[in-house]
Structure 1
Amino acid sequence: MPGIDGIMLARHIRNFNNKIVIWGLTANAQAQERERCLASGMNLCLFKPLTLQKLENSLGTLNTLEPHCQLGEFIDLEMLNTLTMGDALLIRQMLEKSQQENAQDLKCAQEVARLGDWPGLHHHLHRIKGTAQILGASELYRLSLRLENHQPMQQQDNIMQADLLELEKRLKTLSDEIDRFYAA
């Protein structure tokens, strides 16, 4: 394709449509090329020479493919693309690192909240909020900000606990969507 390769085309398509099935076909059968194709948003990467049997087998999976995830509903993919100058591998590394860090910070936040360590809770919520801001996860950011600004009072502890449970739920949903995005 003149002026654009399949990887760039897949990225552009994913910015506008996460549901369409995208397959790549390349002569470069190296594992890292397959990973690059999948990281760009392709659902499948096939290698030349492509036999009719391989094509038939691949086409047979179309009805069983899980619909492409809706990661773009949780984070700002366009902003991430701009931040990383379109580097799909860097985006993947950022998303995977955010999964790890968010899981660790949530675990610590829950523990220090249980112990009544408000400065410790503030620290971990601030980190989650910062990650949400970088990813453009606006709902997660607002929830983290509300929790971070929570003033510990006995009558409000139930509200904070409910918000912490909501934070856990949203972080799990985001993590699941990241996994689904790279599994597709």
Structure 2
Amino acid sequence: LTKKEREEQGMDGISEEPVQKKFVVSDITPECLAFVHDGNKRGICLYADELASWFKNFNRYSKGSEEQFWLSVFSGKPIIFDRKGMKRSISVKHSFISVIGTIQKGILKELAKGDRNQNGFLDRILFVLPENLDKQYWNTKELDAHISLDWQKITQKLIDRAYSVDESGNPVSNEIRFESAAMRLLME
């Protein structure tokens, strides 16, 4: 509606822009990621099918501090963006962004370029390599319908999970400690 139409219908002021609920993002700038996270305070998952592309895209739009942005995010620090071209300031008190993806073993050395092997960046990444990883050949089998349904149920259960909030209504992370057996495995 135009401003005049809103006034004629008794609508005072400008209504707030609706926020799209989004849990998974992909190719995204830190500013846009902060905007999405601001509307989805429970957390965001950045999915990169090829993690190498995520690393190579650091600082693609500006020579700056994207790697330092991620170091702060991985520590759960607040995200604040005040940029000239932005409609409004973005402030996320408790950042929670997980990054998942795949990468080939031979490309892992790319991760250690620059300061990443000294500034704690690599220490914030959990590398997982499945045992008995056999190359899968092309096949024409269809995925069983129950697998997709089971996955939807799992993700919906996570989305619906209750969480704690602070005095401002912002989600508060709950620390889950390792069981002693899990900690031993981690330290091996």
| TM superposition score normalised by structure 1 | 0.23
Higher helix content, 1 or 2: 1
Higher strand residue share: 2
Q: Give the structure, 1 or 2, with the largest relative contact order (CA under 8 Å, sep 6 or more).
A: 1
